[in-house]
Amino acid sequence: MTLTEDLVRLIREKPVSEADLHQTALFTLDAVANMIAGRNSEPGRKLLEWGATRQGDAARRALVMGGLTHILEVDDIHRASVVHTGCVTVPAALALAADHDVSGETFLKSVLFGFEATCRVGMAVGPTHYKVWHNTATCGPYGSAMTAATILNLTDDQTMHALGNAGTQSAGLWEFLATGAMSKHLHAGRAAEAGLVAAELAAIDFTGPPAILEGPTGFFAGACPDADPDAVLRDPDAQWQVHLTSIKPWPACRHTHPAIDAALAVFEELNDAEIDRIEVETYQAAIDVCDRAVADSEYEGKFSLQHCVAAALQRGKIDFSAFGPEARRDAAELATKVSVSAGEPYATSYPASWGAGVSVKLADGTMLESSKPECKGDPEAALNENEMIAKARDLIRFGGVNDAVPVIDGIIGMAQGGKSPDMSNILSGSA
């Protein structure tokens, strides 16, 4: 038996409770809300323009919806795998549901199973993989393939072939950060598309490599120098990974969030005092991705620890407006006072925990400090259901939909036996 075959069996034999489906519905809502909101952005409009003549193709719908979901940097993140799960699974499910009669329960199970597959592969790739490869792009195809295989009711053997061909399409490099290019959105979209295509081909017995993960020329050998293959199947009786996935409260790279959380706590004690210097301690991956002293664009601001901390200390909140031209100008001087370094306990706790500490020295010598081993939105400090719905409502309105109730009720209602929602009008901009 290969790892892929065992993974399919593990997922399909794992008990699913009503609580699991309800949690999945909330995460599906978060992804759909991000998708709708993503339309109100320059890259979102470009994706919609490109996809306008391709809506009849489920794979292309998945690509566009996956890209839209990931644009605003406020979609979910699974810490241990460093994968954004909703943007690769929910678009695949929605794209297929538009063409197939899918019950709400099957829809949610497909997303739940997709989360599990992509997270388990992501937990096995090892930390070195992330230095060059974007895990959402490389591990996401396994999740979208598992989601699509569930909706298409593939056999275990067909599903193994689907995951094999999804894995051979893994790609996605961090080079886009050097210029702030739009590639990251394409990463999510292509991951959603790749798994869906692989599953559709598997349905007509198009074969894929059974040992795509552990084979001598497979995924781990080719892209994961310190892979941990045992992690794919480790703790099979643990709770579903959807319960271990974080929800972003702020529209920035998740690596900035612990520092934002700590800075917001310090803000409560500042009382407009003059700041002399700011020290941020965190883990190395956050520095690798988000050490950006000068943020020349909105997107760079979302990937700048310096800007995010400075803006949080100035404004006392972080929202979409915190990354616009005026906010970046206002925070620029304070950002120059921010130094970042890797430090304990954050460095060795990553990726199980993503934490940071912020120390602010005031002009009178007073030190204000806050430590956040985890941060708001993590499972240990999870948003409650009302907060998740409020976040979704704000995102949906940001995307131009004034009445968010039908979207919210339709998605959450799937966990109570409702039908899968018809969200095909997301691509038309109407809903």
Map out the domains of the chain with their CATH numbers. 3-249+380-428 (1.10.4100.10), 254-372 (3.30.1330.120)
Q: What is the average per-residue pLDDT within 296-320?
A: 95
Omega of the bond prior to 345 within 30 degrees of 0, cis?
yes
* pLDDT tens, position by position, 71-112: 999 999 999 999 999 999 999 999 999 999 999 999 999 999
- For the record, the structure tokens of 84 come out as 């954004």
């979910």: which residue's tokens?
76
Of 36, 72, 32, 116, residue with least CA distance to 254: 72
Classify 324 as helix, strand or coil.
coil
In degrees and rounded to multiples of 5, residue 328 shows phi and psi of -65, -40
Side chain identity, residue 234: R
Cα separation, 427 vs 10, whole angstroms: 35
The rounded mean pLDDT for the chain is: 95
Cα separation, 198 vs 200, whole angstroms: 6
Cα separation, 315 vs 267, whole angstroms: 8
Cα separation, 247 vs 249, whole angstroms: 6
Cα separation, 64 vs 60, whole angstroms: 6
The dihedral over CA atoms of 116, 409, 398, 95, expressed in degrees to the nearest 10, equals 50
Rg of the chain over all Cα atoms, to the nearest angstrom? 21
Cα 187–chain centre separation: 11
* DSSP states of 11-78: HHHS---HHHHHHHHHHHHHHHHHHHHHTSSHHHHHHHHHHTT-TT-HHHHHHHHHHHHHTTS-S-EE
Residues 6+ apart with CB under 8 A from 302: 73, 251, 252, 253, 256, 308, 323
Residue 319, Cβ neighbours under 10 Å: how many? 14
Cα separation, 141 vs 168, whole angstroms: 9
Lowest mean pLDDT of 93-102, 278-287, 343-352, 414-423, name the range: 414-423
**Confidence category of residue 423, pLDDT binned at 50, 70, 90:** low
* pLDDT tens, position by position, 380-409: 999 999 999 999 999 999 999 989 999 999
Q: What is the average per-residue pLDDT within 353-370?
A: 96
